[in-house]
Copies of this chain bind each other. A is one copy, B any other.
Amino acid sequence: MITIKDVARLAGVSHTTVSLALRGSASITDETKKKVMKAAKQLNYHPNHLAKALVNGKTNVIGVVANFFSSNFEMEVLKGIEQSIRSMENDYMINLFATLEKNDQVLEDICLGRRADGVILLSISPSPEIIKLYNDNNCPMIVIDERAEGAIEITMDNYHGAYMATEHLINAGRRNLALVIGDSNREELGLSQNERKQGFLQAIKDHGLTFNPKNTFFIEDYYFEEGQVVYKRMQRYGSNIDGVFCAAGDIVASGIMLEAKMEHVNIPRDLSIIGYDDVPSSSLIDPPLTSIRQPLFQIGKNGYARMVRFLEGKEEYKPNKLVYEPQLIVRSSV
């Protein structure tokens, strides 16, 4: 491995000079600089990132932390981040951390183990202690899609999204709605599922209707196949359902729809359904699925750009909240 000392030897200067020259210090002659550059190039010198980071106290990496990668949510946010990276031309690398449930532990390690200069959390809720830790260590934290008092909190208005969706069903003449939502038994409902539930219930109330709690159906893993199962459960346990708000998202909604079609239920004539997320396939399936779109790409793009500004000292880091608005995408399933 080629180090700064090898370059120094070849250039005939001290390693201090090499270090200074390489970063264009004003106190080095142009001539020496050239010599050093030449030697560095000749030896194909690459600075050891670890050594640099250790002495600088700065890693130049931005950590992106999530429970799963590769679900539609993470994918869209990542696309936005990628776009930002391409357009910004800076030295930050992103590092993806998959937490596998031990969120706080991983976050502690990232901060205290100096694995990143700042983190972006996707649908992960940091404990107050962790937030304090990050603040104490001047490590900026942007939390997307969860609460984070004391950090930068970027959420989407799930309440409003659900309200719009439900109202859309009601305006289409649906009176006996069903709610399909992430399971609340095992662990607490995530922020967004919870808010969607509230928005749904409020919309029903505001329109003078009532909701039959029997028409709530739970999902655990957000798989397509769970949607198929849910449809069967609706048949057995539901009562007169004529409209479904699938807060659990479009993939599950697609499963419900497929199963309904298999049973020769005409959508939307016999049953209306609306999803959430507006995944790419939603416009392709039959009938095209009405859904709620969230600006995930934008959020990823802006979030990353903002993190870079924090780290470069171009924007002062201080806790605040930002809420993005969702959008109703009307297609033919309602």
Contact = CB atoms under 8 A, between A and B. Distances in A.
A14 interface: no
Interface string A90-120: 0001111110100000001100111100000
A50 interface: yes
A112 B1 contact: yes
Interface residues of A, number: 45
A48 B54 contact: yes
Contacts of A251: 280
Contacts of A76: 70
A122 interface: no
Nearest to A289: B284
Residue with the greatest number of chain B CB neighbours at <10 A, chosen from A49, A97, A286: A49
Most chain B C-beta atoms within 10 Å of own C-beta, residue among A2, A114, A258:
A114
Interface of A: 1-2, 44, 46-51, 53-54, 59, 68-70, 75-76, 78-79, 82, 85-86, 93-98, 100, 108-109, 112-115, 137, 224, 251, 254, 258, 280-281, 284-286
Contacts of A79: 69-70
A143 to B, nearest CB: 20
A54 B50 contact: yes
Nearest to A94: B96
B137 A1 contact: yes
Given A96-B96, A284-B281, A284-B284, A115 B49 contact: yes
A140 B251 CA distance: 38
A46 B281 contact: no
A258 B283 CA distance: 10
Contacts of A108: 44, 46
17 contacts: A2-B112, A44-B108, A48-B113, A49-B109, A49-B113, A50-B50, A54-B54, A68-B82, A69-B79, A70-B79, A70-B82, A85-B98, A85-B100, A258-B284, A280-B281, A281-B284, A284-B284
Contacts of A1: 112, 137
Nearest to A136: B1
A84 to B, nearest CB: 11
B280 A285 contact: no
A305 to B, nearest CB: 15
Contacts of A280: 224, 251, 281
A281 to B, nearest CB: 3
Contact of A113 (B46, B86, B112, B137): B46
